[in-house]
Copies of this chain bind each other. A is one copy, B any other.
């Protein structure tokens, strides 16, 4: 294996420091990048992640003391699944200085990361995302957890991975729809924080969509740098980190309203479409910049339309709001690359934006 020359982005969250390694071919050299104090690793992967697991197995050899498949459906993102992973790890003789490796999409990194957070009161873990959404967003930031009948991600832990390996080789079997939906989160990072990332990436969307590795790595690395910078400054989502929720105010509602049939990134795309309307009126976002964002979303799509009955959206917005004491936390775009949190936007304004938003 020739030595790849990956980019390294450091993420510091409280006492924990992790590294995101980004480059072609790093899975085949994984022994250099995955972290385990004992050198022993317990591998948990989704069945669909075989393209990523195979080079890992070859690179790691006897360091892998357990190799298991995890159910990666959203319906399996439960405390029961986490409990089963902890069981398997303990049965395999897990020690405090061992580390887990999660290979898969957001569900797998969420449940395996949470298992690592609570097994023996916390062991290290590594993430190998196999989706564009996981690479650009889900794996970075330390949020792990599971769903509850009352809502998504209501149970979990902040437990950042020690290492995240981002290698386009992990995407070879990713369906087109998921590939595109995940890129929405990467663009979202650019739109809230970095016009010099957003502009060129938008212009090179055809190459990105044909899976050009250099274009993809440039966008993902940029999104990871933005997220790493934000979560390092605000690990527990008190203030700055909320900027990452651009498009999520209605995005979460669209996701829930659709019975979770929309991909997360697709729901966020529609949430951004609505946020552009609100940002135009409330944050002075220039028309031509709103159009530039919308054009990029249109190229990333087409996305299935969300349900947008006002009564349903209103009750979903109210539920989201209930988890904190304050008002609805809206993220508005002032310019491409500059966002702010606004707590004065009413639910009615969001419903109006949902009614008029368009991605065509």
Give residues in A with beta carbon < 8 Å to B. 14-15, 37-38, 79, 83, 86-87, 90-91, 93, 95-97, 114, 117-122, 143, 145, 148, 150-151, 153-158, 322-325
Contacts and interface: CB of A to CB of B under 8 A. Distances in A.
Contact of A148 (B86, B97, B154, B324): B86
B122 A157 contact: yes
Integer count of this chain's copies in the complex: 2
Contacts of A325: 37-38, 95, 97
A118 B118 contact: yes
A242 to B, nearest CB: 12
Nearest to A145: B121
Contact of A323 (B14, B95, B323): B95
Contacts of A14: 14-15
A42 to B, nearest CB: 14
A143 B156 contact: no
A36 to B, nearest CB: 11
B121 A90 contact: no
Nearest to A158: B121
A93 B90 CA distance: 34
Nearest to A91: B150
Given A95-B325, A122-B158, A325-B97, A150 B79 contact: no
Nearest to A115: B155
Contacts of A151: 90
Contacts of A86: 148, 154-155
Contacts of A87: 148
B96 A324 contact: yes
Contacts of A323: 95-96, 120
Given A91-B150, A97-B325, 11 more contacts: A15-B15, A37-B325, A86-B155, A90-B151, A95-B323, A97-B324, A118-B145, A118-B156, A120-B155, A121-B156, A121-B157
A37 B325 CA distance: 10
B154 A120 contact: yes
A119 B148 CA distance: 10
Contacts of A148: 86-87, 90
23 contacts: A15-B15, A86-B148, A86-B155, A87-B148, A90-B154, A91-B150, A93-B322, A95-B322, A96-B323, A97-B325, A114-B118, A117-B157, A118-B118, A118-B145, A118-B155, A118-B156, A119-B154, A121-B153, A121-B155, A121-B156, A121-B157, A122-B157, A157-B157
A322 B37 CA distance: 15
Contacts of A93: 322
